[in-house]
Amino acid sequence: MISKKFPFSIPIRHFSQTASKQPLATLSIPIPPEELSSRRYRLTRHLDQNSIILLSGHKMFYKSPHIFYPFRQQSDFYYLTGFNEPNAAMILKRDDSVRKGYQMILFVEPYDAHKVLWEGPMCGTDGAVRSFMADQAHPIGSLGAYLMNNIQKYDKVYKPDSMQLPSVKGVEMKSAHDLLDMQRVVKSEFEIDLMTKACSISAKAMKQAIKFTQPGMFERALEAKLEYEAKIRGANGLAYVPVCAGGENANTIHYVSNAQQLRDGDLVLVDAGSDYEHYCGDITRTWPVNGTYSRAQMELYNAVLYVQKKIIEKCKETSGLSINQLYDYSRDYLREALMKLDIKILHHEIPDVYPHDIGHYLGLDVHDCVTASKEMPLKAGMVVTVEPGLYVRKNDTRFPEKYRGIGIRIEDDILVGPNFCTNLTEEVPKEVDEIEALFPHFK
């Protein structure tokens, strides 16, 4: 749903209604033009009259000659343009003399009939104006010359840190990341709808992966199952290389080889999410390979679950807490939960067994808005992960023997509300009895 607060209206033309000699690039759900325009309007309010934002999209990445990776657009560029072809750039300029408050110039691959034959529909410069509401569009090959001729007219140029531009006298080069991240970190209603769907698909896929688990199966069978269950529900695929870590492998936080067999009696930790319309889900569950938690596994699992639930409750604007403050709380709660099991871990030792953050912002990127501070209080419209973990290494003598070699993480995606929170991934069970009930074939 689109916010009614948008201060002006522009004509909406849907892709399918646009008559053209040139075929248009297809998007499964085009972002409504007024949503895109609202994003550009809000962003350009942070610019002085004579400043621009310069962004480029991603190129195709190749694995070996002619063999490309699936294309994924650069997130800032996609957020502002909705344009999903490789090799494009944009210039966004505040302009209070026009009704919409800004001007956008797009640089795109020019229409090429031969390319269309091989690769399918492309937008071209005409389509960039007609369907993507650019005020001007030029072939991407002319970007260098355009900048050469025009850049000295601007006082400030906001650009990505990775973009190299020659310095020009009188033109101040600034990072575009702060402006973009501070806007992207709070989601619009349209984005919240897509994130809800991305998280729901991620949750359904995870639930199916739990039910699919059997001793002897390769870890990557779960990876295949997750991808399958995501794609049949309309996701683009998995949002990142998933962690499918049986037993002790769970103690390697970024274990992604997923090449071993799952053993009867072990837990398996799976961290996976789906990408739906460019928005990411990010879920972790830890379940028993044979469908039944051992006593020791259950005790540690419930300790982590206790921490996770306590932190989720606090993910609302009225709590006034930041991600970093939630992390501080989570360490205290974990220590308290371990104490109840007669495991005494000193406060400064907690990072040995819980070495990562409580969570991160989530959105178009899995680790979204990385320049947005984790010190800022949570605001309604943010989506954050809550993912405490406990990793007990085989040689950790602070823990009784029965607990050693167990690694656990539990992660959900939380939409921050004004005075409540919404768990967007609550469809995946996380209580011990709920998870065990997913394994009727072993009962």
**Nearest distance, CB of residue 357 and Mn ion, angstroms:** 9
Closer to Mn ion by Cβ: residue 39 or 184: 184
H-type helices in 143-291, by residue range? Answer: 143-150, 177-184, 189-212, 219-231
Alpha carbon distance 242, 223 (integer Å): 7
Q: Which of residues 70-89 bind Mn ion (CB under 5 A)?
A: none
Number of H helices, E strands in the chain: 12, 19
Angle at 135 between CA 130 and CA 136, to 5 degrees: 90
Interface region with Mn ion, contact rule CB under 5 A, candidates 87-95, 217-225, 275-283, 428-436 = 275-283
Which distant-in-sequence residues (6+ apart) come within 8 Å of 107 by Cβ?
A: 88, 89, 90, 91, 137, 138, 139, 140, 142, 143, 146
Interface region with Mn ion, contact rule CB under 5 A, candidates 12-20, 147-155, 276-284, 318-326 = 276-284
**Nearest distance, CB of residue 255 and Mn ion, angstroms:** 14
Interface region with Mn ion, contact rule CB under 5 A, candidates 24-32, 185-193, 378-386, 397-405 = 378-386
**Nearest distance, CB of residue 387 and Mn ion, angstroms:** 5
56 lines the binding site for Mn ion (CB under 5 A): no
Q: Which residues share a beta bridge with 245?
A: 269
Interface region with Mn ion, contact rule CB under 5 A, candidates 128-136, 148-156, 344-352, 382-390 = 382-390
**Residue of 183, 181, 233 lying closest to 206 (CA atoms):** 233
**Nearest distance, CB of residue 320 and Mn ion, angstroms:** 23
Q: Which of residues 191-250 bind Mn ion (CB under 5 A)?
A: none
Interface region with Mn ion, contact rule CB under 5 A, candidates 39-47, 261-269, 339-347, 377-385 = 377-385
Closer to Mn ion by Cβ: residue 34 or 271: 271
Alpha carbon distance 415, 341 (integer Å): 32
**Nearest distance, CB of residue 435 and Mn ion, angstroms:** 20
Interface region with Mn ion, contact rule CB under 5 A, candidates 30-38, 121-129, 165-173, 385-393 = 385-393
**Nearest distance, CB of residue 275 and Mn ion, angstroms:** 14
Alpha carbon distance 23, 18 (integer Å): 10
Question: Which sign, positive or negative, has the C-alpha torsion 363, 365, 369, 373?
Answer: positive
| Among 44, 84, 330, 385, contact with Mn ion (rule: CB under 5 A) | 385
Q: Which phi and psi angles does 346 have, rounded to 5°?
A: -70, 155
**Nearest distance, CB of residue 303 and Mn ion, angstroms:** 20
Place of tokens 């990505």: 160
Q: Which phi and psi angles does 372 have, rounded to 5°?
A: -75, 130
Closer to Mn ion by Cβ: residue 140 or 269: 269
Closer to Mn ion by Cβ: residue 109 or 282: 282
Q: Which residues share a beta bridge with 271?
A: 243, 284
Q: Which of residues 282-301 bind Mn ion (CB under 5 A)?
A: 282
**Nearest distance, CB of residue 355 and Mn ion, angstroms:** 14
Alpha carbon distance 12, 123 (integer Å): 18
Closer to Mn ion by Cβ: residue 227 or 271: 271
**Nearest distance, CB of residue 323 and Mn ion, angstroms:** 12
Give the gyration radius of the chain's Cα atoms: 24
Closer to Mn ion by Cβ: residue 243 or 406: 243
Query: Applying CB under 5 A, which residues contact Mn ion?
Result: 282, 385
